């Protein structure tokens, strides 16, 4: 069995977390969604990950269909629940998966106002789950269910962001916070992603600000997952050898530990020289910090 994946896709993590919870052996093959291979397009009608290639060689697409297949073919996580309970679990799982891209959007908010607006959308789902949760370790009792698996990608990413930026998507929701901690204790989060997941996750949401623009967008150092505003703009004055002086804006997160001037210069890719910096001759100043966040309205890369 093989899962075709984009490294930071939450829809993929939902599938791999279920495989890990059931102790099912599988292979992972990562692809670049900016340069999709032809063989992938031939087996994925929607051009999205995940794709599961079964032991018989059949390619399954769409995460909802894939997790239902895994739950049906392999011993179920909850073997004794009724059809009504199973339907309820599907509904709560869907509430999670339909908010994966909502969370992704919030993670690349250009300013605090947009962050609060997008976080509020995610917060509505979190509020509903806060009311639903009881006093048991997991959603449906003492054992992990399909609902726990579906919510894991949201809560895992929220944890990473809180550690790196001090911005807490979970907020003042004690039952949800307790559930988040319980799920993370299982280590399914780490087992279901690549070893360099946090680095890739951080790099994907790193952005630059074009020198000609006043827009403030998320930026971070390679060593820290500062993934959410509030932030301030930092200007590095720079010039090419023999060329005109230009300015490079970098958004610096105010949450968490402050970013030193040295970190800013290293992250910019510029060589510091007293109060200026010299860009490599073959490199455009405005391209030094690569934009990784998807533009608003982009087609989803995973589902």
- Rg over alpha carbons for the chain, rounded to the nearest Å, is 21
The torsion of the CA quartet 163, 169, 175, 177, rounded to 10 degrees, works out to: -10
Strand bridging mode 59-61 / 27-30: unpaired
Check if 9 is active-site.
yes
Pairwise CA distance, residues 1 & 56, whole Å: 8
Pairwise CA distance, residues 105 & 101, whole Å: 6
Comparing C-alpha atoms, which of 86, 87, 123 is closest to residue 102?
Answer: 123
Max Cα–Cα distance, the chain, nearest Å = 75
Contacts of 28 (CB under 8 A, 6+ apart): 2, 3, 5, 16, 194
Rounded to 5 degrees, φ, ψ at 223 are: -95, -10
Number of Cβ within 10 Å of residue 91's Cβ equals 9
Q: Are the C-beta atoms of 234 and 217 separated by less than 8 Å? A: no
User: Tokens 């074009």 appear where?
Assistant: 210
Q: Are the C-beta atoms of 139 and 155 separated by less than 8 Å? A: no
Pairwise CA distance, residues 13 & 82, whole Å: 27
Number of Cβ within 10 Å of residue 171's Cβ equals 16
Pairwise CA distance, residues 149 & 89, whole Å: 11
Pairwise CA distance, residues 268 & 216, whole Å: 16
Could you list the active site residues?
A: 9
């Amino acid at each position: 069995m093989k899962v075709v994946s984009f490294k930071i896709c939450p829809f993929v993590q939902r599938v791999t977390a279920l495989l890990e919870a059931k102790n099912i052996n599988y292979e992972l093959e990562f692809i670049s969604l900016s340069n999709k291979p032809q063989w992938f397009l031939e087996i994925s009608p929607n051009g999205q990950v995940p794709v599961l290639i079964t032991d018989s060689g059949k390619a399954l697409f769409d995460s909802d269909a894939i997790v239902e297949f895994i739950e049906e073919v392999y011993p179920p996580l909850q073997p004794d629940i009724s059809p009504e309970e199973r339907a309820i679990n599907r509904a709560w799982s869907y509430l999670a998966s339909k908010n994966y891209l909502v969370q992704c959007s919030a993670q690349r908010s250009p300013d605090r106002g947009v962050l609060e607006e997008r976080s509020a959308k995610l917060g509505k789902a979190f509020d509903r789950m806060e009311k639903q949760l009881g006093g048991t370790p997991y959603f449906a009792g003492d054992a992990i269910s399909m609902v726990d698996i579906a919510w894991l990608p949201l809560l895992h990413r929220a944890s990473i962001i809180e550690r790196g930026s001090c911005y807490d998507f979970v907020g003042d929701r004690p039952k949800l916070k307790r559930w988040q901690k319980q799920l993370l204790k299982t280590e399914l989060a780490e087992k279901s992603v690549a070893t360099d997941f946090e680095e890739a996750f951080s790099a994907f949401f790193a952005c630059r600000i074009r020198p000609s623009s006043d827009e403030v967008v998320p930026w971070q150092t390679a060593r820290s997952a500062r993934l959410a505003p509030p932030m301030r703009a930092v200007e590095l004055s720079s010039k090419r050898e023999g060329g005109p002086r230009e300015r490079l804006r970098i958004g610096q997160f105010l949450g968490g530990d402050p970013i030193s001037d040295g970190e800013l210069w290293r992250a910019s890719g510029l060589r510091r020289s007293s109060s200026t910096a010299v860009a490599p001759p073959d490199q455009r100043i405005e391209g030094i910090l690569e934009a990784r966040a998807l533009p608003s309205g982009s087609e989803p890369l995973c589902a």
